[in-house]
Amino acid sequence: MSKLVIVGTVAFDTIATPFGKTDKILGGAAIFIGLAASQFDIDGAIVSVVGGDFPKEYIKMLQNKGLDVTGLDIVESGKTFFWSGKYHNDMNTRDTLVTELNVLADFKPKVPEFYKDAEVVMLGNLHPMVQLSVIEQIPVRPKLVVLDTMNFWMDNALKELLQVIAKVDVITINDEEARQLTGEYSLVVAAKKIMTMGPKYVVIKKGEHGALLFYDDEVFYAPALPLEVVFDPTGAGDTFAGGFTGYITKTKDYSYENLKKAIIYGSTLASFCVEKFGTERMLEITEKEIHQRLRQFKSLTQFDIELI
Amino acid sequence: MSKLVIVGTVAFDTIATPFGKTDKILGGAAIFIGLAASQFDIDGAIVSVVGGDFPKEYIKMLQNKGLDVTGLDIVESGKTFFWSGKYHNDMNTRDTLVTELNVLADFKPKVPEFYKDAEVVMLGNLHPMVQLSVIEQIPVRPKLVVLDTMNFWMDNALKELLQVIAKVDVITINDEEARQLTGEYSLVVAAKKIMTMGPKYVVIKKGEHGALLFYDDEVFYAPALPLEVVFDPTGAGDTFAGGFTGYITKTKDYSYENLKKAIIYGSTLASFCVEKFGTERMLEITEKEIHQRLRQFKSLTQFDIELI
């Protein structure tokens, strides 16, 4: 089986939406990426850090999903990263109420030996220097390195971020961030500028409006599935990234044609993530449900116009 | 050939965008709808009103495009409807600087005799009572009546608007308006509520994020083509409606499957409209260009995942 290295946060989240609020629940980019990627027949490893307060049953759950956790550092004397947020009524914007870095402040990722020849590396949103150290630990260039980042690093560590961007094959970024990074309003122009910074592929995420995949002069669009209820958007972007990289890892095909399919798988899995709080929905989905939803994606987007 | 009746404003517009500003140029919903619909082999008629200041060469231009103008009332003593607007930097929002109704204030639409058995009626954005009077002038129920409206009528003539909505087959409306009309945030739920008000099909326009077509429990999505430059969005929604109804009129097929294709044609034509000021781009497009862009739409959205 192909190998996927997933680097990112593991967190406790408390989330408030118009539908209610949670206690401290499992969250973090690496968790959402991992759970989505674990839907595919691959060897996936989570590289992250937690504190002594992190429940053993969560670790067991990850292992039951087939995820390798030898790269999950447990700092017994420390506390797990904590994030608390509150969504506005439109569910598209949120306020961060609390961010406690805790053990994440001194996180030094260590890629397990067995994963040093991974085909695919997914760098979840973290300090660019942490992301860079992962790339540097892998002696043979992976087939595909995918980077997720956010505006916070553009504001606070742009130089380092540009260094990482120069070394990756795919960047996933939201529309506002693409504009901020390039100073270009048009996403087409922004994507082209980002390609000159390093990545061959640029994925621009537009939340409820779907995602765009840019490659050379090509562009592919995956809508978000229109849903009756968006219950909690937390983790949707990471779930998208996990479905995207999980599918690519399984298929070992790094072509534009295959990345299109990977984008559809990413959107499909993200459409489940938002249906319940946190990781709840991701823990219960079945293969049958995924295929039902892929069918919905097909009927959502496929049309039959004969071209002359 | 099948017949399409187009009711809507004919206007002078002055438009300011970050790229520049115009003198008084040709505009209005009926103009954009008509120019888009005239790309198809149909009998199309514009029902509207202008003042004595309306240049004869514009009327000649409409005729040259194959549009019937016997329903275009010319009030020699009056002035043509005038609108002036200024777009913000993001091109998604605009301020209306001036609205002078002029001859539009007393507009009594008259459907030409030859068009009283039209297969398709496109009711462009106007006072709901004006739209209703068009429906009432047509003795045999058309195959398809399509309604465009906006939040202004929801605020100022909701009762009359609901009367019209009850009589049409398709409504086109933007996302915020769908939410306002129904009090529902989810577009899926909003569309279902609107269907209970009358229309069998609901088209929700999301500007640069494309358009959704709802029918029964089905949903189809047409993205907007990602463009390097959006020069002037004025008329894009009307151009979409014109491409949509023009295609349906030509094909005489009122099924959901065919309406999907019509949505793609609408989006395709709208993607040209925004490339230059006002109607400029619409006056020069060729069939070859349209087919090139349809091809782009296919490669933008079509993927090939085998479903089990």
B-chain residues within 8 Å CB-CB of A264?
A: 303, 305
Banded model confidence at residue A91, pLDDT cuts 50, 70, 90: confident
- Give the β-pairing of B211-215 and B201-205: antiparallel
B-chain residues within 8 Å CB-CB of A299?
A: 218, 220
Banded model confidence at residue B92, pLDDT cuts 50, 70, 90: confident
Calpha distance A65→A36 (Å, rounded): 10
Structure tokens at A62: 């990850």
A-chain residues within 8 Å CB-CB of B40?
A: none
Contact B221 A220 (CB under 8 A): no
- Higher-confidence position of A139 and A308: A139
pLDDT tens per residue, range B284-295? 999 999 999 999
pLDDT of residue B308: 60
Residue B142 phi, psi dihedral angles, 5° rounding: -65, 165
- Higher-confidence position of B220 and B229: B220
What mean pLDDT do residues B120-135 have? 97
Banded model confidence at residue B25, pLDDT cuts 50, 70, 90: very high
- Does the pLDDT value for residue A22 go beyond 80? yes
Structure tokens at B29: 């919903």
pLDDT of residue A211: 96
> CB-based contact (8 Å) between A95 and chain B?
no
Mean pLDDT of chain B: 96
Count chain A–chain B contacts defined by CB atoms under 8 A: 94
Contact B307 A294 (CB under 8 A): yes
- Does the pLDDT value for residue A43 go beyond 70? yes
- Does the pLDDT value for residue B188 go beyond 80? yes
> CB-based contact (8 Å) between B253 and chain A?
no
- Give the β-pairing of A72-75 and A211-215: unpaired
> CB-based contact (8 Å) between A210 and chain B?
yes
Min Cα separation B90/chain A (Å): 7
pLDDT of residue A163: 98
Contact A90 B185 (CB under 8 A): yes
Number of residues that make up chain B:
308
* Angle between helix B158-165 and helix B187-197 axes, rounded to 10 deg: 80
Return the SS3 of B136. helix
- Does the pLDDT value for residue A90 go beyond 80? no
pLDDT tens per residue, range A94-145? 999 999 999 999 999 999 999 999 999 999 999 999 999 999 999 999 999 9
Q: Name beta bridge partners: B145.
A: B121
Contact B302 A301 (CB under 8 A): yes
Banded model confidence at residue A251, pLDDT cuts 50, 70, 90: very high
Q: B140: left (phi > 0), else alpha (psi -120 to 50), else beta?
A: beta
Residue B51 phi, psi dihedral angles, 5° rounding: -95, 180
- Does the pLDDT value for residue A308 go beyond 80? no
What mean pLDDT do residues B207-217 have? 95
Calpha distance A126→B127 (Å, rounded): 53
